[in-house]
Structure 1
Amino acid sequence: MRAARLIRMALLVQSSPGLTGAALARELEVSERTVIRDAQALQDAGIPVRSDRGRVGGYFLAPGHRTRLTTLHRGEAETLFLSGLPSALRDLGLSDAAEVARLKLTATLLPSVREAAESSVRRFHLDAPAWFREPSTPELLPELARAVWDDRTVELSYARPGRGGAPAATVTRTVEPYGLVLKAGTWYVVVRLPDAAREDRAAAWRTHRVDRITALAPAPGAPEPFAREPGFDLAAHWRAQAAAFARALLRTTVTVRLTARGLRRLPAVVDGAAVEEALARASAPDAAGLVTLDLPTESEDVAFEQLAGLGADAEVLAPDALRARFRDRARALATLYG
């Protein structure tokens, strides 16, 4: 949008006097001819932008003039808290607002402070998505983000994965979207069911993967905005839910005997919560220095894949079926390597 570009240009000239036409063109991603036209448009709007020629020339504001464009709008101020996550800003459709907010903030800083801020940006960057997986932006994420900002009750349809080979089922419910979480490149939305559906407070909360939301619309007849629960802490809620989810996955217990090296390597191959729980109840080392513990895990299949990485530093004692699988693996390896 040209209006946003003109604001950016005015703020750039104010915060970095002497920028050349070429430098402004790069920053604004336009041609130098467009920069000239935009400078004239700013002058027509009462912002005294001038262009000086020569070796030390560039674009300046008239001496003593400062724009009144540095007051942050609500949306711009809110996006500053996400400025360390450029990919998240793009996904949420907020990158333009964040850039304008950054320029407004920069324009208000003293030169020494401005240099420190720019130095931190050059030195620190947070890349949220996991390795070896190209992140995709869910189609409905920007619209859902607007509902979160506005505290707007919505009706969403959600594809619930089938269990035991059953096909996925679509569930439609009315929810109050409280917050969005980006975890390892995947977006989740934390929602609360409206009052009429909430008898059990713990059961009132749901977490959905945004890429499984197939439809989203304003909830008919719902109050706008909805009344947020006082004191709700999204980060604390997410930590508690993530911990509960991790514990709920640990449905199988494996008894394993480990060498000292296997014990040291165990956290590298098994979920951290499972290791912590197992070590709390582990036996003392025996005469050979071996430690026996009961390890919670998702399933025997998961335990087999994880503990196989420890080689001879881990001996599975139970269940018998899993021990038999390791015995068969050992025989196959002995046959292969002679």
Structure 2
Amino acid sequence: MRASRLIRMALLLQSNPGLTAAALAGELEVSERTVIRDAQALQEAGIPVRSERGRVGGYFLAAGYRTRLTTLHPSEAETLFLSGLPSALRDLGLSDAAETARLKLTATLLPSVRQAAESSVRRFHLDAPAWFREPATPHLLPELARAVRADRAVELSYAQRGRDGAPSRVVTRVVEPYGLVLKAGTWYAVARTPDGRAGDDGGWRTYRVDRITAVDPAPGAAGPFVRDPAFELAAHWEARSAAFARTLLRTTVTVRLTDRGLRRLPDVVDGAAVPDALASASAPDPAGLVTLDLPVESEDVAFDQLARLGADAEVLAPDSLRTRFRERAGALAALYRACPQGTGTDEAGDQR
């Protein structure tokens, strides 16, 4: 554990010279006293770490000193070789660069570590696109990726969609593209509008890249924009996607479930709805049934989702949804009562 931490500390100082004891403590999740002891341990091991006091002080490696990657553990090397998604790198126009980097990294590894890394590539493959549809690379993705890497503000033209999913209008907006996210085979751009930073959302916007119709240089932009140093793409995406999922749950239905229905509920409804639904669950009644309030996007969605639970779910409210299930149950009962098994005809002999 400590050996791994010492390696991390040396690599941090190599890439970020001048880190303070407090900053290193935060990165390594230890106390500042532990950082001081670790710095001494590195010095004793022959790694030229020095500390400087003062306003611009911190920890430094001697000028020209570079650590070597031969200290990688085999599992660490495996992680590096699995960290890139081939399809995503291809979409971004980086597959050649990734292959060159992989070859350079391979050349620096000890033979035993190199074998572990190459073995992981043969055994694991990370496939991001979703099932049942051909992945399509948005034609403007490479241009947008170049703007992200260069911190270059752009003017986007974006096709908005109506509630029915059909295109409604094209809007144009100047944005600062902070990052790109691949989610279930779909690319999204996370950007900030320069004139919206004072708003409640800080001016942040998320765009489906396949709906972007044009990417042009921002009018009057001179040089790269100044990124917010506190911005972290992964944390931003996690928070925004969770908030977005909750905003879709605009309706609540009351459901009575069997024990099996309760266990299967997370498999058939939106994941964002499950915590609130379970929190509202009553204690089991004498028959073992549990009643809860389930947040849903709409009655139509609730009908499709809860129908998968069959007789393990009974809708109590609203009445309109309960009526739909009663009508569905009646139609199914009539169908199976009227049709002899395997004939595909009704009682009158008319073929359906």
- TM bucket normalised to smaller: 0.7 to 0.9
Q: Deviations 1:149-183 (Å, cap 9, x if unpaired)? A: 11000011000002368752101000000000000
Identity %: 79
Structure 2 residue 284 is matched with structure 1 residue 285: yes
SS in 2 for 1:277: helix
Q: Mark the runs of 5 or more structure 2 residues left unpaired by the alignment.
A: 1-79, 338-352
Q: Partner residue of 2:192?
A: 192
Sort the Cα spacing of 1:272 and 1:167 in 2 relative to 1 into closer, same or farther, 3 A. Answer: closer
Distance in 1 (alpha carbons) for counterparts of 2:131 and 2:189: 22
Q: Partner residue of 1:8?
A: none
Q: Partner residue of 2:159?
A: 159
2:82–2:124 contact (8 Å) kept in structure 1 = no
Distance in 1 (alpha carbons) for counterparts of 2:164 and 2:89: 37
Distance in 1 (alpha carbons) for counterparts of 2:275 and 2:319: 24
Give, in angstroms, the shift of residue 82 of structure 1: 8.1
Q: Deviations 1:77-133 (Å, cap 9, x if unpaired)? A: xxx798530000010000001111111111111212111110111122110111111
Distance in 2 (alpha carbons) for counterparts of 1:306 and 1:164: 19
Structure 1-normalised TM-score?
0.74
Q: Deviations 1:198-225 (Å, cap 9, x if unpaired)? A: 2215140000000000000111212321
2:82–2:126 contact (8 Å) kept in structure 1 = no
Structure 2 residue 323 is matched with structure 1 residue 324: yes
SS in 2 for 1:223: coil
Distance in 2 (alpha carbons) for counterparts of 1:259 and 1:267: 14
Structure 2 residue 114 is matched with structure 1 residue 119: no
Amino acid at match of 1:303: A
Structure 2-normalised TM-score?
0.71
The root-mean-square deviation of aligned C-alpha atoms, in Å, is: 1.8
Give, in angstroms, the shift of residue 197 of structure 1: 3.3
Amino acid at match of 1:323: R
Q: Partner residue of 2:350?
A: none
After superposition, residues 1-338 of structure 1 pair within 5 angstroms as 83-163=83-163, 167-194=167-194, 196-338=195-337
Divergent runs of 4+, >6 A = none
Distance in 1 (alpha carbons) for counterparts of 2:193 and 2:294: 36
Give, in angstroms, the shift of residue 320 of structure 1: 0.4
SS in 1 for 2:115: helix
Amino acid at match of 1:115: Q
SS in 2 for 1:97: helix
Distance in 2 (alpha carbons) for counterparts of 1:94 and 1:229: 25
Distance in 2 (alpha carbons) for counterparts of 1:137 and 1:158: 16
Q: Mark the runs of 5 or more structure 1 residues left unpaired by the alignment.
A: 1-79
Sort the Cα spacing of 1:181 and 1:261 in 2 relative to 1 into closer, same or farther, 3 A. Answer: same
Distance in 2 (alpha carbons) for counterparts of 1:278 and 1:288: 20
Distance in 1 (alpha carbons) for counterparts of 2:95 and 2:175: 27
SS in 2 for 1:202: coil
Give, in angstroms, the shift of residue 268 of structure 1: 0.7
Amino acid at match of 1:119: S
SS in 2 for 1:174: strand
SS in 1 for 2:308: helix
Give, in angstroms, the shift of residue 276 of structure 1: 1.2
Give, in angstroms, the shift of residue 189 of structure 1: 0.4
Distance in 2 (alpha carbons) for counterparts of 1:81 and 1:220: 40
SS in 2 for 1:93: coil
Sort the Cα spacing of 1:111 and 1:247 in 2 relative to 1 into closer, same or farther, 3 A. Answer: same
Paired residue total:
260
Sort the Cα spacing of 1:90 and 1:170 in 2 relative to 1 into closer, same or farther, 3 A. Answer: same
Amino acid at match of 1:217: D
